[in-house]
Amino acid sequence: MAHHHINGVRLWVEDEGDGPALVFVHEFGGDHRSWRHQVDHFRDRFRCVTYSARGYPPSDVPEDEDAYGQDIATADLLGLLDALKIERAHIIGLSMGAYTGLRFALAHPDRIMSLVAASGGSGSFPGTRAHFLEETRALADTILDRNSLNLPGFASSATRTQLKLKNPDGWKEFADHFLEHSPMGSAYTLRRVQAGRPSLYDFEAELKAMTTPTLLMVGDEDEPCIDTNVFLKRAMPSAGLVTFPKSGHLINLEDPGAFNAAIDDFLAALAAGSWPRRDASTTGASAYLSEDGP
């Protein structure tokens, strides 16, 4: 557990276990602590690295809004691997972290062994993108005006209340941790990362050419993300999609056992060489016949 100087800031990093590296990248509402259930499960077999992004104490919280952005978040992940002397890693990201993982795989395919992109895609779906951007910027303004993250509707939103229903104690811990974050760091992250990043649909050509083995995961009640994950599955020949029933956005906290098991199966398939790229013969639109006819 230590601060590492990366791209002009100090990032708080926790590093446990030995073996191939699993690097966990948290969501907007979380931090390095969000991955406790995953680290406890994997650290006997893997080197588990968690960190808090810039703007999230105990990492530095830059006061310059220009010090935040999606390209900066992607560069921070690269800088983290360099600082820890990790040549290649399995990247596991949730929501904001899933987006960073996807962008990292596109930009640095030589540094990533595989990608787990869970609950990714908020704000990307064309039909709801304008509303997402408006809501995100308004929330940032509210946080800055109040200098507070006391936003009762956030932890109880339509995609996070599933955790409250399944595990009230786990939900309270999540909500308490969110209140410990920096209002300024969170607001600037909303403005410059969440609202500043392009839609994933803008990268369709690059995603079609991407070769990194990828496991997409989404809850079936995570309305902002479902359509984008179907798009990603169709666009990415290297991707598989797992959907968790009766689940929202925080799937790593809602059912850690099922979440971890899906990753175990994915990593085992990779080790066995049984995670192929999608065969072109499976992409036809007909429900009955091949393109060659009966």
The answer to whether residue 289 is domain-embedded is: no
The answer to whether residue 25 is domain-embedded is: yes
CA gap 120, 167 in Å, rounded: 22
The answer to whether residue 244 is domain-embedded is: yes
Amino acid 125: pLDDT: 97
Amino acid 1: pLDDT: 83
- The CATH code of the domain that includes 244 is 3.40.50.1820
The answer to whether residue 198 is domain-embedded is: yes
Sheet containing 47-51, strands listed edge to edge, beginning at the edge strand earlier in sequence: 2-6, 9-16, 47-51, 21-25, 89-94, 112-118, 214-219, 239-244
The answer to whether residue 143 is domain-embedded is: yes
Q: What is the pTM of this model?
A: 0.97
The answer to whether residue 206 is domain-embedded is: yes
The answer to whether residue 288 is domain-embedded is: no
The answer to whether residue 287 is domain-embedded is: no
254: containing domain: 2-277
The count of domains in the chain is 1
Tens-binned pLDDT, residue by residue, of the chain (294 aa): 899 999 999 999 999 999 999 999 999 999 999 999 999 999 999 999 999 999 999 999 999 999 999 999 999 999 999 999 999 999 999 999 999 999 999 999 999 999 999 999 999 999 999 999 999 999 999 999 999 999 989 999 999 999 999 999 999 999 999 999 999 999 999 999 999 999 999 999 999 999 999 999 999 999 999 999 999 999 999 999 999 999 999 999 999 999 999 999 999 999 999 999 999 889 888 887 776 655
CA gap 225, 121 in Å, rounded: 5
